Structure 1
Amino acid sequence: MTSDQLSEVFAEAGQVRFIEIIYDKVTDRSRGFGFVTMGSVDEAKEAIRMFDGSQVGGRTVRVNFPEVPRGGERKVMGPKLQSSNVGYVDTPHKLYAGNLGWGITSQGLREAFANQEGFLSAKVIYERASGRSRGFGFITFSTADAAESALTTMNGVELEGRPLRLNMASDRARSNTEAYAEQSA
């Protein structure tokens, strides 16, 4: 479905100001979701009422307000980001998790790995200034064997529609400034 076709459909609920269909950067194919900006909140509510759960372009669609308004990540996510890494246990037995969907939180990452043997904790890394996910995180385990097992089991598994890209994480040398920033955060 093209932006123009989607705009025609949503015009039944009111003025459509902007349509953005999200595409995969590698394949250039639609990822199956997008954003529709309506002329007013009332028109957006009407679009949700009219189209949520309905068939659009041969697919059942979910229509709702985004959890985080565009540009409002810091305001909405700030308190959540500060508390999301509470209880994170760092160990040398750590996996790097890349290709995370932008909506994955530290809690979501923890839930994805909770059943893995030796799992201790997980965190998503966020940009300090904007509060947006950087698309990667870390998962820690009690032993090297547990981390290796999780790497083998979970690498490539889809999490919110994206395949996890896992690697053994290497500790990098940290400067005093980074260590201080982490302690004071």
Structure 2
Amino acid sequence: MEITPAKGKKTPAKVVPVKAKSVAEEEEDDEDDEDEEEDEDEEDEEDDEDEDEEEEEEPVKAAPGKRKKEMTKQKEAPEAKKQKIEGSEPTTPFNLFIGNLNPNKSVAELKVAISELFAKNDLAAVDVRTGTNRKFGYVDFESAEDLEKALELTGLKVFGNEIKLEKPKGRDSKKVRAARTLLAKNLSFNITEDELKEVFEDAVEIRLVSQDGRSKGIAYIEFKSEADAEKNLEEKQGAEIDGRSVSLYYTGEKGQRQERTGKNSTWSGESKTLVLSNLSYSATEETLQEVFEKATFIKVPQNPHGKSKGYAFIEFASFEDAKEALNSCNKMEIEGRTIRLELQGPRGSPNARSQPSKTLFVKGLSEDTTEETLKESFEGSVRARIVTDRETGSSKGFGFVDFNKDEV
């Protein structure tokens, strides 16, 4: 008679620690997987599954053999969860969490049904990703506008279940964020995030890098999409902000490719133009012509006040002439300063200095300034843009002036 209650006491003592261990292991997997985008709702559904398993265990508490199998099954749960999220990398930045799916249907059936649901409402699902338990998933859309429209469909039925649609609470994976983020260098040490926001209107987040409370002159600028990042790099590369010409770089995998094809692969393209930096502000094009006798064209960019920007472009008739000048004149001293030479890189690369001098950022414009009068104020400009408030249409007091490469 005394043996039976003893066994009854031991049963929960064995089950409780096992469950605690399983949950801890699941949380550990969540932290280690950087690309996982599961949100709180998904975790709630998994908790529900755990509770269901507990309820099923109650009738077999007195059967040690079966209980042992259940314990083994629980220990394997973290591995099952790990498999469940494989291949869940989003294809676009515009994603929705979709919950309360019918787990009795196959993954293929769910994907087709979900895609058809959005198609009937004039929305195209770029990709549908479901977990292996088939209770939840993610849907990728082409634009933020489509995403907002899709949110209105929450509550509609798919295979008899009312689906739940909401924005993921988890952060995007590092790869996705890096693809839509630009690195800005050569910024004024006094620049503020608000001032950068005026230039990069489409930015969703701007992070100035500082050390010991002092700005390092660089910032990370994140946009809504990779396309917005590319557009801003193209249009704002070299914009003069607070007296300095900003240099923009890609981050992540695209930044690594940029580094390989630009700065670290100087000889990958047969450029006929050299970029000369650390030039004395007193040096003129005539001064450089005496040094680079084979040069066919020399340009020393100037600021709006007619002063040198401290660098130059030197064009030759051939790649061989440019390479010869690079080898013989690099680190030469001209008017008291040791110059640096490098071949002009491809469009958008770190050493492509022709792009950074293409666009001028202009502040302090009056309300009466028009794009036409702004363009006329800068000789050689090809286009002028005044930034206006999206709601009122009035000028924000600053704009951009574009130049041809040869006019920079």
TM-score by length of 2: 0.20
Higher relative contact order (CA 8 A, sep 6+): 1
Point out the structure with max Rg over C-alpha. Answer: 2
Name the structure with the higher helix share.
Answer: 2
